[in-house]
């Protein structure tokens, strides 16, 4: 699950001042947006946090699951877990409890902004790498797959590129106070705020990131999945159509359908955010004086953040063995607790038995590297 680099402070007109902005937190639209934020952040912590931890644990426990595709998915899962564990609690306090007032200091403000940005771009790069891996495996099956060294370089690039291009999100983050509507106190924005004289640099930076981390990857993924779909649905398979061949083709089609749905969900979730950001940064006067623009931005941001939940559900359910592996830790703990209640000494044996059964299941249902 990734999130945006810019928070509410970036909604300001470049010529505007925080002191001139009315406190929009009292409007009905903002109350609705706050409730939606609370639901989405809770879902991220529950689904992305717990679900991805189970998936990562299953990869660490069972070597049969460690194919290239699953390892790329694991990187996406790690980025989502980091956000769920390290960012969402602070965001819940900032958006919902304190209603846009940051009280955790500038270092944490910058760290949360930076980690959210890195997570978004890691997710984008991981999805692109998965699409290219599927393209190579299905359209060029006779070519050798990535060796461990090449795969390690790809995974490293998935993280290093976002780590570098996200540096401005931390460097330009600042705490800025603004008056509360009731006049009794001030609130503190935790936001990425660029000086007016650096407007050209910010716009150039945003367009570069927009091209590298949205337009480019989405275009490449769309091309990959279009060609894969034509290959799987339009061309016949040469040779005898055995049950094993038909089953393998069906599984490939099923996987590609899920990956296409993941791409569609990614575009549907993040296109509104990038569209709003373009409008905000290049035509700020159209929205900066609208009382409900802040609420509109947070609703759009909620839609974007929900993409992490969708990815987790899709990737855990894309293959039967992956779903069983993710569910087995919970099942084994449940059985162990039940057995422990019965005889007081069955936890270790039941857990070991459950993992042994899963190993047998994984051996029987071979995990396809392609």
**Between 8 and 252, where is the model more confident?**
252
Determine the pLDDT at residue 252.
78
Is residue 128 a contact partner of residue 262, using CB atoms and an 8 Å limit? no
Residue 369 confidence (pLDDT) above 70:
no
3-state secondary structure of 191: strand
Residue 357 confidence (pLDDT) above 80:
no
Q: How far is it, in rounded angstroms, from Cα 3 to Cα 125?
A: 14
Delineate the domains of the chain, giving CATH numbers in brackets: 8-236+246-318 (1.20.1070.10)
The CA radius of gyration of the chain, in Å to the nearest whole number, is 23
Is residue 265 a contact partner of residue 314, using CB atoms and an 8 Å limit? yes
Segment 14-19 shows an average pLDDT of: 45
- 51: alpha, beta or left, given left = phi > 0 and alpha = psi -120 to 50? alpha
Is residue 299 a contact partner of residue 114, using CB atoms and an 8 Å limit? no
- pTM of this prediction? 0.79
The proportion of the chain whose per-residue pLDDT surpasses 90, expressed as a percent, equals: 36
Is residue 40 a contact partner of residue 46, using CB atoms and an 8 Å limit? no
Residue 329 confidence (pLDDT) above 70:
no
Determine the pLDDT at residue 80.
92
Residue 362 confidence (pLDDT) above 60:
no
Determine the pLDDT at residue 339.
54
In sequence order, which residues have a C-beta less than 8 Å from that of residue 231 and are 6 or more positions away?
A: 138, 139
pLDDT band at 342 (very low <50, low <70, confident <90, very high): low
Q: How far is it, in rounded angstroms, from Cα 57 to Cα 368?
A: 19
Residues 111, 117, 118, 119, CA torsion sign: positive
Residue 2 confidence (pLDDT) above 50:
no
281-295, pLDDT tens digit by residue? Answer: 888 777 766 677 778
Residue 269 confidence (pLDDT) above 90:
yes
Q: How far is it, in rounded angstroms, from Cα 194 to Cα 14?
A: 8
Quick one: which of 155, 133, 271, 260 has its CA closest to 213? 271
**Between 231 and 45, where is the model more confident?**
45
Residue 245 confidence (pLDDT) above 80:
no
Number of Cβ within 10 Å of residue 103's Cβ equals 15
Tokens linked to 221: 């993924």
Q: How far is it, in rounded angstroms, from Cα 320 to Cα 363?
A: 13
Q: How far is it, in rounded angstroms, from Cα 138 to Cα 238?
A: 14
Determine the pLDDT at residue 140.
87
Residue 321 confidence (pLDDT) above 60:
no
Is residue 72 a contact partner of residue 122, using CB atoms and an 8 Å limit? no
Largest Cα span, the chain? 79
Determine the pLDDT at residue 116.
92
Q: How far is it, in rounded angstroms, from Cα 283 to Cα 277?
A: 10
The proportion of the chain whose per-residue pLDDT surpasses 70, expressed as a percent, equals: 73
């Amino acid at each position: 699950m990734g999130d945006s680099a810019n928070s509410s402070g970036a909604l300001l007109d470049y010529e505007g001042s925080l002191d001139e902005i009315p406190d929009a937190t009292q409007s009905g639209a903002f109350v609705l947006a706050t409730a939606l934020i609370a639901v989405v952040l809770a879902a991220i912590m529950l689904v992305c946090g717990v679900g991805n931890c189970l998936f990562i644990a299953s990869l660490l426990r069972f070597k049969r699951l460690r194919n290239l595709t699953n390892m790329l998915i694991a990187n996406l899962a790690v980025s989502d877990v980091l956000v769920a564990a390290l960012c969402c609690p602070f965001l819940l306090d900032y958006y919902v409890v304190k209603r846009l007032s940051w009280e955790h200091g500038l270092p944490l403000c910058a760290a949360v902004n930076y980690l959210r940005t890195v997570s978004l771009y890691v997710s984008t790069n991981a999805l692109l790498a998965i699409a290219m891996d599927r393209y190579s495996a299905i359209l060029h099956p006779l070519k050798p797959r990535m060796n461990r060294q090449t795969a390690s370089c790809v995974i490293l690039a998935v993280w290093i590129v976002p780590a570098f291009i996200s540096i401005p999100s931390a460097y330009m983050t600042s705490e800025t106070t603004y008056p509360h509507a009731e006049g009794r106190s001030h609130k503190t924005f935790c936001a990425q705020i660029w000086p007016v004289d650096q407007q050209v640099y910010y716009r150039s930076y945003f367009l570069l990131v927009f091209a590298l981390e949205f337009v480019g990857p989405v275009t490449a993924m769309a091309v990959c999945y279009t060609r894969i779909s034509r290959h799987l649905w339009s061309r016949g398979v040469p040779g005898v159509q055995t049950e094993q061949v038909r089953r393998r083709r069906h599984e490939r089609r099923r996987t590609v359908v899920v990956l296409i749905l993941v791409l569609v969900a990614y575009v549907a979730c993040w296109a509104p955010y990038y569209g709003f950001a373009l409008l905000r940064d290049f035509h700020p006067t159209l929205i900066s004086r609208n009382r409900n623009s802040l609420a509109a931005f947070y609703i759009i941001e909620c839609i974007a953040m929900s993409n992490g939940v969708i990815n987790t559900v899709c990737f855990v359910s894309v293959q039967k063995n992956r779903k069983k592996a993710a569910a087995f830790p919970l099942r084994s703990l449940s059985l162990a607790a039940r057995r422990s209640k019965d005889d007081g000494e069955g936890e270790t044996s039941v857990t070991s038995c459950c993992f042994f059964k899963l190993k047998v299941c994984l051996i029987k249902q071979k995990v396809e590297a392609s």
